[in-house]
Amino acid sequence: MQTILYYFTGTGNSLAVARAIADRLPDTTLIPIPMLILKGDKVRAPENANIGIVYPLYAMGLPNIVVRFFDILDLSDAGYVFSVVTEGGTFGSPTGQIAALAKQSGRNLDAAWWIQMPDNYIPPCPHRPQNPNRKPSAKTHSEKSLSSPKQSVNGSRGTSTSPQPENCSDW
């Protein structure tokens, strides 16, 4: 029986999972969701096909691009519909959300799995200023160190003129 895996991946975890499923299920095709969104055409699931949606958990829910995919997806003819979410280990289940979206697209979700993968979430810097190009008003700790005679090596000053920020408040 034919299986189609529609997937979205930011950094490759969900793609790795989709490929692992495809290795184990005969006659499986992987289709990236962003490509279909860019095309914008309606996507009709082939009659009686297994349809899998593979995606990462974002803020305890579905990435927006996956939500938008359900606007063009018609699952009415699908045989079996399942989802696989990859996540970084925090609380939160997207199953209710994706079940509702599948129903809206014409078919109940038959199964939902999740798989813990490396967490790729980078929390935003709480002190980052509005304009990231803004020059620091005061010298950073690194600049002070470079220009301090106490820090000089063999009596010479450091040659680097572009110290790196050491923490969020240096942005």
Per CB under 6 A, residues contacting ligand FMN are 9-14, 56-60, 86-90, 92, 117-121
Candidates 68, 152, 72; CA nearest to 106 is 72
Nearer to ligand FMN, 43 or 87 (CB): 87
Nearer to ligand FMN, 33 or 51 (CB): 33
Q: How far is the CB of 60 from ligand FMN (least distance, A)?
A: 4
Chain center to CA of 74:
24
Nearer to ligand FMN, 34 or 89 (CB): 89
User: How does 44-79 read in b/e, with b if 16+ C-beta sit within 10 Å?
Assistant: ebeeebbbbbbbbbbeebbbeebeebbebbebeebb
Q: How far is the CB of 79 from ligand FMN (least distance, A)?
A: 26
- Residues 30, 21: Cα–Cα separation, whole Å: 10
Q: How far is the CB of 59 from ligand FMN (least distance, A)?
A: 5
